[in-house]
Chains A and B, each alone.
Chain A
Amino acid sequence: AQSVTQLGSHVSVSEGALVLLRCNYSSSVPPYLFWYVQYPNQGLQLLLKYTTGATLVKGINGFEAEFKKSETSFHLTKPSAHMSDAAEYFCAVFMLDDKIIFGKGTRLHILP
């Protein structure tokens, strides 16, 4: 079965430090990949997506992710964390059966 694995249900980083949220997928073909962010009491907002072409994808709020086929990974990074980045982040894969599979989510905590 296709799946998405996010390593770490909680990640804490200091304000100004590098943010790295990990996502690995299992797929026999290159999928379409997404990162979403969810703030408290809100729905999901698309941060960025990989569909085709350049493997380094830039998104909103200074986030970017790199698609690495050999590692089946799509990790999310941001050079310098801001207090407003505290939220839950979801990696998702759009599969050939026409469904989107979400990872369990990683809650990002920003330490002052």
Chain B
Amino acid sequence: KAGVTQTPRYLIKTRGQQVTLSCSPISGHRSVSWYQQTPGQGLQFLFEYFSETQRNKGNFPGRFSGRQFSNSRSEMNVSTLELGDSALYLCASSLRDTSYNEQFFGPGTRLTVL
């Protein structure tokens, strides 16, 4: 089975621009979660989508949004980029068939904001 894929792997943007990241989950997985990883803050939960509905969200400003399509693929959008948005963005998929939500991670998208 193919793993979680994320595109693009690397991205360079300038302040004020917007960006869209894509995540394709493992086949059969209906849950997709997004995380931001930075050296200072570590891994922080952004949001989770399950069957095209946002199931949970972390403490990020409204500039961060996401969606999920009927094939479970998910996109994350960041508008009005700030320097502090530079990070590795990780996507994780899950079957959501257990009470503890075992997640499988993609390789991440490295976003650099100049």
Contact = CB atoms under 8 A, between A and B. Distances in A.
Interface string A28-56: 00001000100001111110010100000
Task: State the main secondary structure of chain A at its contact with B.
Answer: strand
A46 B100 contact: no
Contacts of A44: 90, 92, 105
Contact of B107 (A42, A90, A98, A102): A42
B58 interface: yes
Interface residues of B, number: 22
B104 to A, nearest CB: 7
Nearest to A103: B42
B8 to A, nearest CB: 14
Interface of B: 4, 33, 35, 42-43, 45, 55-56, 58, 90, 92, 98-108
Interface of A: 32, 36, 41-46, 49, 51, 90, 94, 98-105
25 contacts: A32-B99, A41-B107, A42-B108, A43-B106, A43-B108, A44-B90, A44-B105, A45-B105, A46-B102, A49-B100, A51-B98, A51-B99, A51-B100, A90-B42, A90-B43, A94-B100, A94-B101, A98-B56, A100-B45, A100-B101, A100-B103, A101-B45, A102-B35, A102-B42, A103-B42
